[in-house]
Structure 1
């Protein structure tokens, strides 16, 4: 499996909606973490950074399509990039 860095940029004026959906979003992410797919995640610069394991960028994107934040249209932009870890590790 490869490592992927995913950046979410939240849509304008979505803070209230994100607060409402956040418990379901966190449960979704907790499930990915428990399965070993999501290594770490957290808020950054008006969005979030998620580090996941997957076989391809398309596979990771498809996995994240189930995120309630995406379902509710709260993510304005999502980028998925393969990330080669050179020093340190998440394992």
Structure 2
């Protein structure tokens, strides 16, 4: 397996994001329990970028990493404006392989 860094850029719809957040977190929590989500958390908006998230996944390839998140409630509800998936190779720290 490899580590993939997935970034979300959220749609600007704070009310719908707030309403869907519990289901989104439950979805990611289940993937964490299954050993697929290594860590996940929000990327707060700043002057250079809108709000989003960073999710580190354990997956065999980019296609599988994308597929793991296809049913994310945020994505199903159209709240993910942009998603990127890139392999990440940690060489120092607790995630180094």
TM-score range, shorter chain: over 0.9
| Secondary structure, aligned partner of 2:91 | coil
Structure 2 unaligned segments of length 5 or more: list them: 45-50
Matched residue count: 90
Give runs of aligned pairs for residues 9-48 of structure 1, distance below 5 A.
9-12=9-12, 14-45=13-44, 46-48=51-53
Give 4+ residue runs of structure 1 displaced > 3 Å after superposition.
none
For the pair 1:60 / 2:65, whether they are aligned, the reply is yes
Q: Which residue of structure 2 aligns with residue 70 of structure 1?
A: 75
CA distance in 2, matches of 1:39, 1:90: 9
| Secondary structure, aligned partner of 2:68 | helix
Q: How far has the Cα of 1:89 moved from its partner?
A: 2.3
Q: How far has the Cα of 1:39 moved from its partner?
A: 0.5
Structure 1 unaligned segments of length 5 or more: list them: none
Q: Which residue of structure 2 aligns with residue 88 of structure 1?
A: 93
Q: How far has the Cα of 1:90 moved from its partner?
A: 3.1
Give the alignment's TM-score, normalised by structure 2.
0.89
Root-mean-square deviation over aligned CA pairs: 1.1
CA distance in 1, matches of 2:73, 2:64: 18
